[in-house]
Structure 1
Amino acid sequence: MDYQKIKDYRNAHNPYSQRLGILVEEIGPGYARVVKTVGSEDTNPLGVPHGGVYFSMADTAGGSAMASHGHRAVTVNCNYNFMRSAKVGDTLTAEAREIKAGKTLCVYDVHITDQNGTLLGTGTFTFYQLEQEIEL
């Protein structure tokens, strides 16, 4: 499996993540890491990143880890726990690790940290593997 090509494909073909500034940095077997720097446009009325920023990062990381199997997939269930807020200028990292690899359903544990390694939140994401290979 050419993980570099999968990473490049994910970065080039995800307009939503591109708009949010989420970049896939690494994909490996059942693993992915994505990063984003928080901008002022990412904040909610309280001046901290909107929950959707964290959730989108976690979903992108999980989906990228799922893509390591070479097939397209869709999210079927997810749970995210918000623990701390970041601030504008922080660099966030979401790492997804596979905890169950099935024929159709795969489950990923996702952790989001800031540039200091502070845990901001965790999630569990379940994906359904489609019968469509990723065309590289």
Structure 2
Amino acid sequence: MPEALGFRLVFGNLGEHMKNYVEKHDKLLRHLQMTIETATPDYARVTMPLTENHKNGMGCAHGGAIFSLADVAFGAAANAGKDMGVVSLSTTIEFLRPGTCGPLAAESYVVRKGQRIQSFTVKVFDGTGELIAQCMASGYQTDILLPD
């Protein structure tokens, strides 16, 4: 099914429930052509091509596309292997330089995991490996089972 829609999902230890949930419900991930390459409870890597649809009026990666990529990487690591959802609590991002070549890649690393609050650092790189943005993201562990 995903291949027919023009995108590809590759899951590490996300768990079958999360994989099915993302494939069924995350329309933005599909629209932006993101690929979850790796997702574990401590680390995730997500890539996205840099097409004309991902660029701003100046021809660089759009800040909203970069932020979305970082958010998906955070969410992939925060929710890896879980049946209960983690939702964003707070995210701050710094745009360090323009993203001018793709694909873009976001890597999310766990900083701290408490009972309910989780903190991650996310770094976004352009196609040459240059750091173009970094963010801190925190999430809240809910008691809500992700629906089918």
TM-score, normalisation: structure 1 = 0.88
Q: Percent identity, aligned pairs only?
A: 24
- CA shift digits 1:57-84 (9 cap, x unpaired): 0111001110025021111101001011
> Root-mean-square deviation (CA), in Å?
2.1
State the alpha-carbon separation in 1 of the partners of residues 131 and 139 from structure 2. Answer: 24
- Unaligned regions of 5+ residues in structure 1, if any? none
Given residue 88 of structure 2, which amino acid in structure 1 is its aligned partner? T
Given residue 77 of structure 1, which amino acid in structure 2 is its aligned partner? S
State the alpha-carbon separation in 2 of the partners of residues 9 and 40 from structure 1. Answer: 29
Contact 1:74 / 1:127 at 8 angstroms: preserved in 2?
yes
2:80 is aligned to 68
TM-score, normalisation: structure 2 = 0.82
1:80 is aligned to 93
Runs of 4+ in 1 over 6 A off after TM superposition: none
Aligned pairs for 1:1-136 (under 5 A) are: 2-3=13-14, 5=16, 8-9=19-20, 11-12=22-23, 13-70=25-82, 71-87=84-100, 90-134=102-146
Shift of 1:16: 1.1
- Unaligned regions of 5+ residues in structure 2, if any? 1-11
Contact 2:18 / 2:81 at 8 angstroms: preserved in 1?
no
